[in-house]
Amino acid sequence: MGHFIGQLKNDEGFNKIFNRASELTQIKRDNEVFFNTDIDFAESVDYSTVRPDHKLESEKYYFLDYSQGGQNILDSIQIYFNTLDSTAEISTLTKDHLDKIELLIYGKKTSNKYKLNIQAITPKYFIKSKNYLKVINSHIEYKHEKDVLEFKDQIDIFIDENEKKIYFKHFANLKKIDNSFIELYQEASDEEQETFIEEVNSHENFEIDSSKLKLQTTNLKKLKYALDNGMVSEVLSKKRKVNQYIRRYKDELSLRKSEGMYVLKTNKDITSLLKVIFENFYQGEITGKKLESNSSKEL
């Protein structure tokens, strides 16, 4: 039969979506794509073989061998399997938690190994209030709905425990599972590095001197991710807030102003800039201590 659960934002755990088998039977009947675990991925592309300058196609599935992704990724995926093994111990979704859903997950075991269909939930899926006309028993009725979560008959991520593979359409969705997936992101091409430099230099208080700049793999991946997700201009355009942020965490950054300009010349300087773009530093609300996080997961 399988299990249908939701993952909540901010590491608040999981909820069962339904508490009656009849409801799961109905939604499975109406959404054959999402609840199909026997999917043919013959046309999918091995993400690890994709060239850095390759443009990801939104309708195409890519795959990764998640067993090669480090212990953090393995542990995060194992949590799904463990949770699905113990659904009797988790509560059913309530109205109070509806707007906290981050992922919808359907898991089914075959030969004692799980296949997981996952749908990534974005703010546009939530309908706070909606009026509509609907045909009911051959006549039109006016309906008003509020606090509705739209369910789409689609799969954004597919995990195969037997093959140790994870299939996806948009890499950004993998960060909802574990931020460490960014370690498996593509490296920026030479052209994309130039685009990054041009974009940074377009902001009046930053200048990258690329004459001797040699970036390391980690920065090339983070740089490309920041570019692909529009993070560079989104952050650096907020000049006053950026300057305040750099001053607050100046001891943790290698960014120093000279004649009103932050000049970046080394890989270390770019590391610091990326930490600003990803907003990796924060202040603890309880102790007031300055802290660093490797996650840029939005709550």
Per-residue pLDDT of 237-256, as tens digits, reads 999 999 999 999 988 999 98
Q: What is the pLDDT of residues 180-205, one digit of tens each?
A: 887 788 788 888 899 999 999 999 88
Output the pTM of the full model: 0.69
Domain that holds residue 256: 190-292
- Going by pLDDT thresholds of 50, 70 and 90, the confidence category of residue 297 is low
Q: Residue with structure tokens 């130039």?
A: 194
Name the CA dihedral angle for 153, 231, 179, 113, rounded to a multiple of 10 degrees: 20
Are residues 24 and 76 both part of a single domain?
Answer: yes
- Going by pLDDT thresholds of 50, 70 and 90, the confidence category of residue 112 is very high
Which burial class, exposed, middle or buried, applies to 222 when counting CB atoms under 10 A from its CB (0-12, 13-18, 19+)?
buried
- Distance in angstroms (rounded) separating the CA atoms of residues 155 and 291: 36
Specify if 246 maps to a domain.
Answer: yes
Are residues 176 and 198 both part of a single domain?
Answer: no
The residue among 87, 263, 247, 60 whose CA lies nearest residue 167 is 60
Distant-in-sequence, close-in-space partners of 6: CB < 8 Å, separation ≥ 6: 14, 15, 16, 17, 93, 97, 101, 102, 103, 104, 105
End-to-end CA distance of the chain: 32
Are residues 18 and 105 both part of a single domain?
Answer: yes
Specify if 275 maps to a domain.
Answer: yes
Instruction: Kindly state the helix (H) or strand (E) to which residue 168 belongs, with its residue range.
Output: strand 165-168
- Total domains in the chain come to 2
Are residues 9 and 76 both part of a single domain?
Answer: yes
Specify if 57 maps to a domain.
Answer: yes
Are residues 164 and 32 both part of a single domain?
Answer: yes
Are residues 234 and 155 both part of a single domain?
Answer: no
Mark which of 184, 206, 237 sits at the end of a domain: 184
Question: How would DSSP label each residue in 192-256?
Answer: HHHHHHHHHHTSTTEEE--SS----HHHHHHHHHHHHTTHHHHHHT-HHHHHHHHHHTGGG----
Are residues 72 and 103 both part of a single domain?
Answer: yes
- Distance in angstroms (rounded) separating the CA atoms of residues 211 and 228: 24
Specify if 274 maps to a domain.
Answer: yes
Tell me the residue type at 58.
Answer: S
Q: What is the pLDDT of residues 165-180, one digit of tens each?
A: 999 998 888 888 887 8
Check whether 296 has a pLDDT greater than 70.
Answer: no
Are residues 29 and 80 both part of a single domain?
Answer: yes
Are residues 71 and 23 both part of a single domain?
Answer: yes
Specify if 43 maps to a domain.
Answer: yes
pLDDT at residue 299, as a whole number: 47
Specify if 131 maps to a domain.
Answer: no
Specify if 135 maps to a domain.
Answer: no
